[in-house]
A and B are shown apart, each in its own frame.
Chain A
């Protein structure tokens, strides 16, 4: 059973370009979470999605950032018109659909560098 798969592992974008980060959850998991880790800081919650639904996007910047988790395919975190401050590691986590809380499993992250 493969873990949470994120790609690309590293992404370099020039200021003003768009960045697309992909996350395939673990098999059987239908909850996806995105976190951002700035250098020398802990992970900060961005958004929580279920298939075709955004459940909580309270941690997402109001502009330029969007996320989706379509019925088919991976979850996508999209950053438009990137700026230097967007440089960070972006981690995706997934958990199964249950009534009780279960542990979320993290992917290896996408390291975005904006030049």
Chain B
């Protein structure tokens, strides 16, 4: 119940394409869903986050889609760029401090 399942494990996208990463959860107590971007040798950096009272949030080229009934949320990266190549983690927070992270998706955007 405390898991967040993330897919795919790796993703290769052409420059300008759309990258889509999916996450699913079981625990209905989760009420905050951030996405983190991590470059090699660096710490995770918050990219975008959503609460379950909205179905979509957009910030620049990054969009979170949230389906509360299906307990799923996804990250869409529009017009993907080589500089977006990184590992992306979804996470969920059950109203406290204990982030539950997905296992990560390694994205490679080809030039």
Contact = CB atoms under 8 A, between A and B. Distances in A.
A101 B101 contact: no
B43 interface: yes
B103 interface: yes
A80 B43 CA distance: 24
A109 B93 contact: no
A109 B43 contact: yes
A81 B59 CA distance: 46
Interface of A is mostly: strand
Q: Could you say which interface size class chain B belongs to?
A: 20 to 34
Q: Could you say which interface size class chain A belongs to?
A: 20 to 34
Interface of A: 4, 6, 31, 33, 35, 40-45, 48, 56, 59, 91, 95, 101, 103-109
A27 B97 CA distance: 19
A47 to B, nearest CB: 10
Contacts of B41: 108
Given A103-B46, A107-B43, A108-B42, A42 B103 contact: yes
